[in-house]
Structure 1
Amino acid sequence: MPTRLYHLKNDAYQLKEINAKETWPVRHPVLRKGRPLEDVYMEADEQASTFHLGMFHNNDIIGVASFMDDSHEGFTGAQFRLRGMAVLPEYRRKGIAELLLKRGETLLKEKGKTLLWFNARVVALQFYKNLGYQVDGTLFDIPKVGPHYRMKKQLL
């Protein structure tokens, strides 16, 4: 995937495909703060079908999203799962997470995938709803992480 250049609020950002370990500098402080660095590793990180996107500002990684070939038994279709979506606090509310997610959706559609699902933190629920994702089920707790809702979106 070629690097894509975006201009947001008079600043330049680059979005490109990265490897799993490159996600760690963002995943760790945002999603696993105060825990060992190794806690950011996910079993599917190294699968051939998994892809990771990173957003860069001044050559520093500031946002990440990982897309993994994972099916939920309650869903149908060619599924993928979003995991490890994170943007550093000082770069939030600039449209970075939306760009990462929309680029991932585009790549999944190109691969013939029809559904993207994930577990969303409560604080991010409205963000995902605004992008067309729907809650599936009730609030549940992920140990050491906190309350989440399962969400999904048909990729037409």
Structure 2
Amino acid sequence: MEKIQIEQIRPDLTWRIRHEAMYPDEPYDTIKLEDDPNGIHFGLFAEDQLVTVISVFEEGTVYQFRKFATLPAAQGKGYGSLMLQHIITYVSNIGATKLWCNARTSASAFYLKFGFSETDQRFSKLGLEFVIMQLQLNN
């Protein structure tokens, strides 16, 4: 059985995964967030290799996750599902009322499986289509 571990990591440890998985053709600094120092960053390690990252930002009891990425070679193995479930549990346990994200429209079905709903807010960035999705918690 594969050894999988999720833990908090430093912001800079997310950057390589974000770049490779999300915007490999953009300049490296494209994937850095101004808010990175204020976020809570998690990494999923499979057999001690960092393969999935996510960054969580708090505004009161509302939490947003950003830059949710899995290395291309590790996609389709369930790591994203494990990470998202971990984040939902984590923010629920600290009293979050809502968790939301800017989801690529191509990934909206993934988030729907976890109880997220699409809002009517949509936008484009770097040639990709996004929809804001949210999950109500602890209401």
Q: How does the TM-score come out when normalised to structure 2?
A: 0.91
1:47-100 CA-partner distances (Å, limit 9, x unpaired): 1xx2111011232210011111248xxxxxx21101000111222222211111
1:121/1:149 contact within 8 Å kept: yes
1:110 is displaced (CA, Å) by 2.0
Q: 1:93 aligns with which of 76, 99, 105?
A: 76
Name the structure 2 match of 1:125: 108
How far, CA to CA, are the matches of 1:67 and 1:108 in structure 2?
Answer: 9
Name the structure 1 match of 2:136: 154
User: For structure 2, which runs of at least 5 residues remain unmatched after alignment?
Assistant: none
Q: How does the TM-score come out when normalised to structure 1?
A: 0.82
Amino acid at match of 2:119: D
Total equivalences in the alignment: 138
Matched, 1:13 2:4: yes
Secondary structure in 1 matching 2:96? coil
User: For structure 1, which runs of at least 5 residues remain unmatched after alignment?
Assistant: 1-9, 72-77
The share of aligned pairs that are identical, in percent, is: 28
Secondary structure in 1 matching 2:120? coil
Q: 1:43 aligns with which of 13, 20, 34?
A: 34
Secondary structure in 1 matching 2:77? coil
Matched, 1:67 2:49: no
Secondary structure in 2 matching 1:11? coil
Name the structure 1 match of 2:63: 80
1:40–1:98 Cα change, 3 Å: same
1:98-155 CA-partner distances (Å, limit 9, x unpaired): 111111112212221110011001221110011110000143212x251101100012
1:136/1:149 contact within 8 Å kept: yes
